[in-house]
């Protein structure tokens, strides 16, 4: 076989190194994926390969159906993405995260390793309320890193715990990664099961993925804190106590700083886990709650408008439960008219608190731009980036499938010695190494739809899916989290390098994250060996 024939016969596999090379050259991700897809589709048509054997590009017409499915009014899941992004950006811009860090540092800082423990704890809270790696890492790097270095913390430990804690937003719900990953995997799961004759597979919801990821995410936080505490006890010079951070915050300040974010987390995450609201509805609650929190934080004169809004929301909830508030009826009983009036009063209080908070976020400025305007601009940019990459990835995936790549991947994994479990280990290994070069979005949009159907096609002895889709989603989420910490393109490392003082070298940051990458791999192994850690809570909540 000549070299030309060899290349033509493997056009599908050549797409990946071509995309990686162009990405390493600095080309934009979305246009790289779309461009590589189109170029290889043309090559396939010229060489009459796969579904392009007719010599035209008609196979790519399926792109329009996929994009229409993305924008279809029945697909509400991805609407949660911009809402959660806005929630996180608003909390970060308003200074809520900074207050949390400073308060926790004063509370735990006097313990050995206390500053590291406070970073991990606040990282967990920010993960459940913001979910944006860049904002979390930058905020903690600006606030905590100088304090840790001033108290003679080891540079590698300090940078490692900050970079690792900043990535918790990828696995602790509500997470943008889990929303996108859950949407992609749910479609792949249904298609894979139907392709082998299972026409009634149990669907997987985003709420299932959230509840499945909760316990592994908390286990990861516990391991981070345990490692930090072990270093502080074993080598106290690397994580000494911080004796000059000021007095411990009083109970009143603690409640004022901690309670609002906790209430917001419980409202958003609890409404999803207990089936009260869909992820999109919960994201809307989170966005409104973030505005109220930002208004309270930026005002500095008290929180009466925000308290009134919360009180009004409670009134509306009680009124909905106690009365029939439907207006389109021939007759309205007196008690229902009273209920409608009560609900209207509650809505008025919510409107007052929300309007006041919006005005405060518009009046407060970070530089020359209002905080509200900054949050809106950042949300628009991040949302546009996500969906532009999605479109580019669809072109790439269609070209890959048109060249016969799906069959190539299926034959490869199905033919591995050791059966399904070796195939699962191979998929995890491929995703881990791709994380060195690709962002999580490219892996989710490009790699996951290709590899996941292979795993979902395996059956157990009863003819059911061998691998639980929620378990696979959590494993992939944990795997993708490491892509933020693995050089050369770990984005968490880049964010921290941008705000770290000059005395912290790049090698300090790279070496500092190694123990935390190993911790993530260990947690990934625990969840892989014990699937019930990710499937027990979704099963319990669905009863």
What would the pLDDT profile of 496-528 be if each residue is shown by its tens digit? 888 888 888 888 888 999 999 999 999 999 999
Domain locations in the chain as residue ranges: 1-79+386-403, 94-249+405-543
Rounded to the nearest angstrom, the gap between the alpha carbon of residue 471 and the centroid of all alpha carbons in its chain is 16
DSSP-assigned states of every residue in 430-495: HHHHHTTTS-HHHIIIIIHHHHHHHHHT-B-TTSSBSS-HHHHHHHHHHHHHGGGTSSSS-HHHHH
Closest alpha carbon to 130 in 343, 287, 305, 239: 287
CB 94 within 8 A of CB 297: yes
CB 402 within 8 A of CB 52: yes
Give the model confidence (pLDDT) of 212-271 as tens digits: 999 999 999 999 999 999 998 888 888 887 666 666 666 677 777 788 888 888 888 888
pLDDT of res. 255:
75
**pTM for this model (two decimals):** 0.86
Grouping H, G, I as helix, E, B as strand and the rest as coil, residue 165 is: helix
Closest alpha carbon to 122 in 149, 147, 150: 147
Closest alpha carbon to 179 in 94, 265, 85, 263: 85
CB 221 within 8 A of CB 202: no
pLDDT bracket for residue 341 (50, 70, 90): very high
pLDDT of res. 240:
82
CB 166 within 8 A of CB 492: yes
Quick check: 413 pLDDT over 80?
Answer: no
Question: Hey, what are 433's tokens?
Answer: 């190494």
Mean residue pLDDT across the chain: 84
DSSP state of 531: T
CA dist 390 and 257 (Å) reads 38
pLDDT bracket for residue 272 (50, 70, 90): confident
pLDDT of res. 72:
61
């Amino acid at each position: 076989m000549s070299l030309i024939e060899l290349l033509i016969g493997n056009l599908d596999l050549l797409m990946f190194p071509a995309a990686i090379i162009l990405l390493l050259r600095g080309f934009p991700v979305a246009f790289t994926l779309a461009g590589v897809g189109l170029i290889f589709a043309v090559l396939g048509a010229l060489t009459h390969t796969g579904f392009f054997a007719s010599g035209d590009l008609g196979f790519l017409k399926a792109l329009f159906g996929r994009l229409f499915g993305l924008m279809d009014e029945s697909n509400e899941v991805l609407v949660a993405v911009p809402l959660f992004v806005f929630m996180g950006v608003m909390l970060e811009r308003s200074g809520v995260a900074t207050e949390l860090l400073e308060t926790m540092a004063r509370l735990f800082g006097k313990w050995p390793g206390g500053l590291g423990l406070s970073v991990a704890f606040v990282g967990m809270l920010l993960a459940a309320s913001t979910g944006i790696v860049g904002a979390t890492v930058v905020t903690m790097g600006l606030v905590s890193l100088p304090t840790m270095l001033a108290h003679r913390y080891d540079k590698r430990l300090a940078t490692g715990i900050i970079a690792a804690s900043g990535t918790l937003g990828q696995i602790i719900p509500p997470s943008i990664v889990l929303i996108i990953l859950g949407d992609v995997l749910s479609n792949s799961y249904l298609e894979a099961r139907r392709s082998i004759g299972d026409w009634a597979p149990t669907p997987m919801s985003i709420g299932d993925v959230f509840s499945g990821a909760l316990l592994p995410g908390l286990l990861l936080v516990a391991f981070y804190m345990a490692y930090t505490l072990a270093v502080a006890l074993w080598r106290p010079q690397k994580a000494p106590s911080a004796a000059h951070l000021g007095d411990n915050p009083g109970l009143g300040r603690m409640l004022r700083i901690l309670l609002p974010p906790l209430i917001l987390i419980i409202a958003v995450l609890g409404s999803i886990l207990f089936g009260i609201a869909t992820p999109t509805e919960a994201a809307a609650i989170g966005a409104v709650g973030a505005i109220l929190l930002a208004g309270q934080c930026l005002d500095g004169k008290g929180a009466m408008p925000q308290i009134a809004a919360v009180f009004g929301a409670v009134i509306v909830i009680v009124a909905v439960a106690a009365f029939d508030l439907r207006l389109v009826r021939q007759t309205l009983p007196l008690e229902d008219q009273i209920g409608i009036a009560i609900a209207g009063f509650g809505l008025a209080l919510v409107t007052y608190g929300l309007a006041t908070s919006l005005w405060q976020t518009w009046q407060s400025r970070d530089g020359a731009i209002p905080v509200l305007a900054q949050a809106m601009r950042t949300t628009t940019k991040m949302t546009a980036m996500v969906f532009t990459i999605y479109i580019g990835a669809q072109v790439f995936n269609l070209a890959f499938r048109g060249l016969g790549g799906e069959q190539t991947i299926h034959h490869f994994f199905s033919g591995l010695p050791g059966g399904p479990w070796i195939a699962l280990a191979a998929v995890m290994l491929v995703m881990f190494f791709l994380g060195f070069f690709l962002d999580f979005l490219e892996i989710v949009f490009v790699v996951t739809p290709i590899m996941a159907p292979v795993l979902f096609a395996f059956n157990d002895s009863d003819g059911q899916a061998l691998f639980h889709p929620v378990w696979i989603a959590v494993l992939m989420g944990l795997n993708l989290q490491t892509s933020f910490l693995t050089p050369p393109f770990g984005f968490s490392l880049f964010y921290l390098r941008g705000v770290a003082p000059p005395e912290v070298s790049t090698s300090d940051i790279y070496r500092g994250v190694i123990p935390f990458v190993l911790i993530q791999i260990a947690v990934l192994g625990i969840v892989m060996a014990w699937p019930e850690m990710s499937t027990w809570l979704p099963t319990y909540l669905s009863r």
